[in-house]
Amino acid sequence: MGLPPRLWFQLERLKKALRSTFGDPGQSYDTSHRMCPTCRALVERNTSVCPFCGEKLRSPRARSSPGAPGRILGVIPIPSTATSVIVAVNIALYAVSWYMTATAASAQPAMGRISGEVLLRLGAKSPYILLGQWWRLVTAIFLHADLMHIGFNLWCLFDLGPEVESLFSTPKFVVLYLVTGVAGFLLSLWWSPFGMSVGASGSILGLIGILIGVSFHHGHLGKEYRARLWRWVIYIGIFGLVFHVDNAAHFGGLATGMLLGYLVPEGEAETQASQNLWNTLALLSIVIIAGSFALMALQLTQPLR
Protein backbone atom coordinates (compact mmCIF):
# COMPACT_ATOMS: atom_id res chain seq x y z
CA MET A 1 0.00 0.00 0.00
CA GLY A 2 1.33 3.44 -0.95
CA LEU A 3 1.78 6.28 1.49
CA PRO A 4 -1.01 8.87 1.83
CA PRO A 5 -0.41 11.83 -0.53
CA ARG A 6 0.19 14.30 2.30
CA LEU A 7 2.78 12.13 4.07
CA TRP A 8 4.49 11.28 0.77
CA PHE A 9 4.70 14.96 -0.13
CA GLN A 10 6.19 15.88 3.26
CA LEU A 11 8.79 13.13 3.03
CA GLU A 12 9.77 14.17 -0.49
CA ARG A 13 10.05 17.79 0.63
CA LEU A 14 12.28 16.82 3.57
CA LYS A 15 14.43 14.67 1.28
CA LYS A 16 14.83 17.66 -1.03
CA ALA A 17 15.88 19.88 1.87
CA LEU A 18 18.38 17.27 3.05
CA ARG A 19 19.90 16.77 -0.41
CA SER A 20 20.00 20.49 -1.14
CA THR A 21 21.84 21.29 2.09
CA PHE A 22 24.20 18.34 2.35
CA GLY A 23 24.04 16.49 -0.95
CA ASP A 24 25.19 16.94 -4.52
CA PRO A 25 24.89 20.64 -5.46
CA GLY A 26 24.56 19.78 -9.12
CA GLN A 27 21.55 17.49 -8.69
CA SER A 28 18.20 18.70 -10.07
CA TYR A 29 14.78 17.98 -8.57
CA ASP A 30 11.30 17.32 -9.87
CA THR A 31 9.11 20.41 -9.60
CA SER A 32 6.33 19.21 -11.89
CA HIS A 33 3.84 18.60 -9.04
CA ARG A 34 2.45 20.54 -6.10
CA MET A 35 -0.02 19.88 -3.31
CA CYS A 36 -3.67 20.92 -3.31
CA PRO A 37 -4.15 23.12 -0.19
CA THR A 38 -7.64 21.67 0.40
CA CYS A 39 -7.38 17.89 -0.01
CA ARG A 40 -3.53 17.68 0.14
CA ALA A 41 -3.37 15.54 -3.01
CA LEU A 42 -0.49 15.87 -5.46
CA VAL A 43 -1.54 17.47 -8.76
CA GLU A 44 0.20 18.68 -11.89
CA ARG A 45 1.98 21.96 -11.18
CA ASN A 46 0.06 24.03 -13.75
CA THR A 47 -3.38 22.59 -12.92
CA SER A 48 -5.95 25.31 -12.24
CA VAL A 49 -8.60 23.03 -10.67
CA CYS A 50 -7.83 20.07 -8.40
CA PRO A 51 -9.11 16.87 -10.09
CA PHE A 52 -9.67 15.23 -6.68
CA CYS A 53 -11.76 17.82 -4.84
CA GLY A 54 -12.62 20.41 -7.49
CA GLU A 55 -10.94 23.28 -5.59
CA LYS A 56 -9.65 26.18 -7.71
CA LEU A 57 -5.91 26.56 -7.37
CA ARG A 58 -3.87 29.73 -7.41
CA SER A 59 -1.25 30.13 -10.12
CA PRO A 60 2.03 28.58 -8.97
CA ARG A 61 5.04 30.76 -8.31
CA ALA A 62 7.68 30.72 -10.99
CA ARG A 63 10.39 28.12 -10.59
CA SER A 64 13.74 27.74 -12.24
CA SER A 65 13.98 25.55 -15.31
CA PRO A 66 14.31 21.78 -14.66
CA GLY A 67 17.95 21.77 -15.68
CA ALA A 68 18.98 24.72 -13.51
CA PRO A 69 21.01 23.69 -10.47
CA GLY A 70 19.55 26.48 -8.32
CA ARG A 71 22.98 27.41 -6.93
CA ILE A 72 25.36 30.28 -7.58
CA LEU A 73 28.52 28.88 -9.22
CA GLY A 74 27.07 25.46 -8.42
CA VAL A 75 27.87 25.93 -4.71
CA ILE A 76 25.83 28.66 -2.98
CA PRO A 77 22.05 28.02 -2.97
CA ILE A 78 20.07 30.80 -4.63
CA PRO A 79 18.02 32.27 -1.78
CA SER A 80 14.26 32.67 -1.99
CA THR A 81 12.52 36.02 -1.66
CA ALA A 82 12.44 36.65 2.09
CA THR A 83 15.95 35.26 2.51
CA SER A 84 17.19 37.58 -0.25
CA VAL A 85 15.71 40.62 1.46
CA ILE A 86 17.23 39.67 4.82
CA VAL A 87 20.64 39.16 3.19
CA ALA A 88 20.35 42.57 1.48
CA VAL A 89 19.45 44.30 4.75
CA ASN A 90 22.42 42.69 6.50
CA ILE A 91 24.80 43.80 3.77
CA ALA A 92 23.35 47.33 3.67
CA LEU A 93 23.66 47.76 7.44
CA TYR A 94 27.22 46.45 7.36
CA ALA A 95 28.11 48.93 4.59
CA VAL A 96 26.62 51.81 6.60
CA SER A 97 28.43 50.75 9.78
CA TRP A 98 31.73 50.30 7.91
CA TYR A 99 31.40 53.80 6.40
CA MET A 100 30.62 55.35 9.78
CA THR A 101 33.61 53.59 11.35
CA ALA A 102 35.97 54.61 8.53
CA THR A 103 34.74 58.22 8.68
CA ALA A 104 35.21 58.45 12.44
CA ALA A 105 38.67 56.87 12.33
CA SER A 106 39.78 58.59 9.08
CA ALA A 107 41.15 55.21 8.00
CA GLN A 108 39.88 51.94 6.60
CA PRO A 109 38.89 49.58 9.46
CA ALA A 110 41.27 46.61 9.77
CA MET A 111 39.60 43.36 8.64
CA GLY A 112 36.41 45.33 8.20
CA ARG A 113 36.02 45.66 11.96
CA ILE A 114 33.22 47.98 13.09
CA SER A 115 33.78 50.20 16.11
CA GLY A 116 31.79 49.50 19.25
CA GLU A 117 30.45 53.05 19.35
CA VAL A 118 29.06 52.74 15.81
CA LEU A 119 27.39 49.43 16.64
CA LEU A 120 25.92 50.99 19.76
CA ARG A 121 24.58 53.90 17.70
CA LEU A 122 23.05 51.59 15.10
CA GLY A 123 21.19 49.45 17.61
CA ALA A 124 23.39 46.77 19.19
CA LYS A 125 22.00 44.75 22.06
CA SER A 126 23.10 46.67 25.15
CA PRO A 127 21.95 47.80 28.63
CA TYR A 128 19.99 50.59 26.91
CA ILE A 129 17.28 47.97 26.32
CA LEU A 130 16.61 48.11 30.05
CA LEU A 131 16.03 51.87 29.68
CA GLY A 132 13.23 51.34 27.18
CA GLN A 133 15.09 50.96 23.88
CA TRP A 134 13.41 47.59 23.16
CA TRP A 135 13.97 48.01 19.43
CA ARG A 136 17.61 47.03 19.95
CA LEU A 137 16.42 43.41 20.30
CA VAL A 138 15.47 43.66 16.61
CA THR A 139 18.12 45.92 15.06
CA ALA A 140 20.94 43.91 16.66
CA ILE A 141 19.93 40.91 14.53
CA PHE A 142 20.99 42.76 11.37
CA LEU A 143 24.32 44.20 12.59
CA HIS A 144 27.76 42.54 12.43
CA ALA A 145 31.12 43.26 14.01
CA ASP A 146 33.53 42.50 11.14
CA LEU A 147 33.94 40.79 7.75
CA MET A 148 34.39 37.30 9.17
CA HIS A 149 31.32 37.73 11.35
CA ILE A 150 29.01 38.76 8.51
CA GLY A 151 30.63 36.34 6.06
CA PHE A 152 30.05 33.31 8.27
CA ASN A 153 26.49 34.33 9.12
CA LEU A 154 25.50 35.05 5.51
CA TRP A 155 27.00 31.75 4.37
CA CYS A 156 24.80 29.93 6.90
CA LEU A 157 21.78 32.07 5.97
CA PHE A 158 22.25 31.38 2.25
CA ASP A 159 22.24 27.65 2.98
CA LEU A 160 19.56 27.39 5.66
CA GLY A 161 17.16 30.22 4.80
CA PRO A 162 15.84 28.78 1.51
CA GLU A 163 15.31 25.37 3.14
CA VAL A 164 13.19 26.71 6.00
CA GLU A 165 11.31 29.09 3.72
CA SER A 166 10.56 26.24 1.31
CA LEU A 167 9.40 23.93 4.10
CA PHE A 168 7.19 26.43 5.92
CA SER A 169 6.24 29.20 3.40
CA THR A 170 7.46 32.78 3.23
CA PRO A 171 5.04 34.33 5.81
CA LYS A 172 5.95 31.71 8.42
CA PHE A 173 9.64 32.11 7.66
CA VAL A 174 9.55 35.88 8.26
CA VAL A 175 7.85 35.39 11.64
CA LEU A 176 10.11 32.52 12.71
CA TYR A 177 13.29 34.38 11.77
CA LEU A 178 12.34 37.44 13.80
CA VAL A 179 11.01 35.52 16.82
CA THR A 180 14.07 33.28 17.16
CA GLY A 181 16.44 36.24 16.78
CA VAL A 182 14.64 38.31 19.42
CA ALA A 183 14.43 35.29 21.74
CA GLY A 184 18.17 34.82 21.43
CA PHE A 185 18.91 38.40 22.45
CA LEU A 186 16.39 38.24 25.28
CA LEU A 187 18.28 35.30 26.78
CA SER A 188 21.53 37.17 26.14
CA LEU A 189 20.14 40.20 27.97
CA TRP A 190 19.16 38.03 30.93
CA TRP A 191 22.52 36.24 30.97
CA SER A 192 24.66 39.35 30.43
CA PRO A 193 22.55 42.49 30.96
CA PHE A 194 25.53 44.86 30.70
CA GLY A 195 27.17 43.25 27.67
CA MET A 196 26.95 44.40 24.05
CA SER A 197 26.45 42.03 21.13
CA VAL A 198 25.22 41.94 17.53
CA GLY A 199 24.64 39.42 14.77
CA ALA A 200 22.20 37.14 12.99
CA SER A 201 23.55 34.09 14.79
CA GLY A 202 20.54 33.79 17.10
CA SER A 203 18.19 33.64 14.11
CA ILE A 204 20.52 31.28 12.24
CA LEU A 205 20.66 28.89 15.19
CA GLY A 206 16.89 29.37 15.26
CA LEU A 207 16.68 28.10 11.67
CA ILE A 208 18.74 25.05 12.61
CA GLY A 209 16.51 24.52 15.64
CA ILE A 210 13.40 24.76 13.46
CA LEU A 211 14.71 22.05 11.15
CA ILE A 212 15.63 19.89 14.14
CA GLY A 213 12.16 20.38 15.61
CA VAL A 214 10.33 19.50 12.41
CA SER A 215 12.52 16.44 11.86
CA PHE A 216 10.81 14.71 14.81
CA HIS A 217 7.69 14.40 12.62
CA HIS A 218 9.48 12.37 9.93
CA GLY A 219 10.54 9.10 11.52
CA HIS A 220 13.77 7.46 10.40
CA LEU A 221 14.41 9.99 7.64
CA GLY A 222 14.03 12.80 10.16
CA LYS A 223 16.45 11.06 12.53
CA GLU A 224 19.16 10.97 9.85
CA TYR A 225 18.54 14.61 8.97
CA ARG A 226 18.58 15.60 12.64
CA ALA A 227 21.99 13.97 13.13
CA ARG A 228 23.42 16.13 10.35
CA LEU A 229 21.87 19.26 11.82
CA TRP A 230 23.38 18.58 15.23
CA ARG A 231 26.78 18.68 13.53
CA TRP A 232 26.04 22.28 12.58
CA VAL A 233 25.26 23.01 16.22
CA ILE A 234 28.50 21.38 17.40
CA TYR A 235 30.63 23.25 14.85
CA ILE A 236 29.02 26.59 15.74
CA GLY A 237 29.38 25.78 19.44
CA ILE A 238 33.12 25.12 19.03
CA PHE A 239 33.43 28.34 17.01
CA GLY A 240 31.64 30.21 19.78
CA LEU A 241 33.94 28.86 22.48
CA VAL A 242 37.08 29.71 20.50
CA PHE A 243 36.07 33.23 19.52
CA HIS A 244 34.04 34.11 22.64
CA VAL A 245 30.82 35.09 20.85
CA ASP A 246 27.36 35.52 22.39
CA ASN A 247 26.62 31.89 23.20
CA ALA A 248 23.52 32.82 25.20
CA ALA A 249 21.94 34.33 22.06
CA HIS A 250 22.88 31.18 20.15
CA PHE A 251 21.26 28.90 22.71
CA GLY A 252 18.15 31.09 22.99
CA GLY A 253 17.63 31.06 19.23
CA LEU A 254 18.28 27.31 18.97
CA ALA A 255 15.90 26.35 21.80
CA THR A 256 13.14 28.65 20.53
CA GLY A 257 13.59 27.32 16.99
CA MET A 258 13.34 23.71 18.11
CA LEU A 259 10.09 24.42 19.93
CA LEU A 260 8.57 26.35 17.02
CA GLY A 261 9.77 23.78 14.46
CA TYR A 262 8.00 21.06 16.41
CA LEU A 263 4.77 23.01 16.96
CA VAL A 264 4.26 25.04 13.76
CA PRO A 265 2.76 23.00 10.88
CA GLU A 266 4.84 22.70 7.73
CA GLY A 267 3.86 24.07 4.36
CA GLU A 268 1.27 26.60 3.32
CA ALA A 269 -1.63 27.21 5.70
CA GLU A 270 -4.39 24.64 5.21
CA THR A 271 -7.32 27.03 5.70
CA GLN A 272 -7.98 30.58 4.59
CA ALA A 273 -8.29 31.71 8.21
CA SER A 274 -4.88 30.24 9.02
CA GLN A 275 -3.41 31.81 5.90
CA ASN A 276 -4.79 35.20 6.91
CA LEU A 277 -3.33 34.78 10.40
CA TRP A 278 0.18 34.02 9.12
CA ASN A 279 0.01 36.82 6.58
CA THR A 280 -0.99 39.21 9.36
CA LEU A 281 1.81 37.99 11.63
CA ALA A 282 4.33 38.34 8.80
CA LEU A 283 3.13 41.88 8.08
CA LEU A 284 3.34 42.70 11.79
CA SER A 285 6.90 41.33 11.87
CA ILE A 286 7.88 43.55 8.94
CA VAL A 287 6.30 46.57 10.65
CA ILE A 288 8.21 45.77 13.86
CA ILE A 289 11.50 45.52 11.94
CA ALA A 290 10.86 48.74 10.00
CA GLY A 291 9.69 50.52 13.15
CA SER A 292 12.77 49.40 15.05
CA PHE A 293 15.07 50.85 12.40
CA ALA A 294 13.02 54.05 12.38
CA LEU A 295 13.44 54.40 16.16
CA MET A 296 17.16 53.72 15.76
CA ALA A 297 17.42 56.46 13.11
CA LEU A 298 15.61 58.96 15.35
CA GLN A 299 18.22 58.60 18.09
CA LEU A 300 21.21 58.36 15.76
CA THR A 301 22.36 61.94 16.38
CA GLN A 302 21.21 62.12 20.00
CA PRO A 303 23.70 61.75 22.87
CA LEU A 304 23.70 58.30 24.41
CA ARG A 305 22.25 58.38 27.90
Least confident piece of the model among 140-154, 196-210, 212-226:
212-226
pTM beyond 0.85: no
Residue 58 identity (one-letter amino acid):
R
The pLDDT assigned to 67 comes to 36
> Residue 42 in 3-state DSSP?
strand
Rounded to the nearest angstrom, the gap between the alpha carbon of residue 54 and the centroid of all alpha carbons in its chain is 35
Has residue 126 got a pLDDT over 80?
yes
Give per-residue pLDDT as tens, 11-28: 555 555 555 444 444 433
Least confident piece of the model among 18-32, 201-215, 242-256, 277-291:
18-32
The pLDDT assigned to 235 comes to 81
% residues pLDDT > 90 (the chain): 50
Residue 150 identity (one-letter amino acid):
I
Which of 100, 41, 126 lies closest to 305 in space, CA to CA? 126
Give per-residue pLDDT as tens, 264-273: 998 888 788 9
> What top-level class would CATH report for the domain 80-298?
mainly alpha
Q: Residue 279 contacts by C-beta under 8 Å, 6 or more apart in sequence?
A: 171
**CA–CA gap between residue 136 and residue 216 (Å, rounded):** 33
Could you please report the per-residue DSSP string of 280-304? HHHHHHHHHHHHHHHHHHHTTTSPP
Has residue 181 got a pLDDT over 80?
yes
Least confident piece of the model among 44-53, 118-127, 130-139:
44-53
Which of 200, 92, 214 lies closest to 156 in space, CA to CA? 200
Report domain extents, the chain.
1-78, 80-298
Computed from CA positions of residues 113, 118, 124, 126, in that sequence, does the dihedral angle turn out positive or negative? positive
Has residue 166 got a pLDDT over 90?
no
> CB-hemisphere CA count at 13 Å for 136?
27
The pLDDT assigned to 284 comes to 97
Which of 180, 145, 146, 148 lies closest to 161 in space, CA to CA? 180
Could you please report the per-residue DSSP string of 99-156? HHHHHHHTSPPGGGPPPHHHHHHHT-B-GGGGGT-TTHHHHGGG--SSHHHHHHHHHH
Give per-residue pLDDT as tens, 219-243: 877 888 888 888 878 887 887 777 7
Residue 7 identity (one-letter amino acid):
L
Which of 183, 171, 154 lies closest to 248 in space, CA to CA? 183
Has residue 209 got a pLDDT over 80?
yes
The pLDDT assigned to 300 comes to 85
Has residue 119 got a pLDDT over 90?
yes
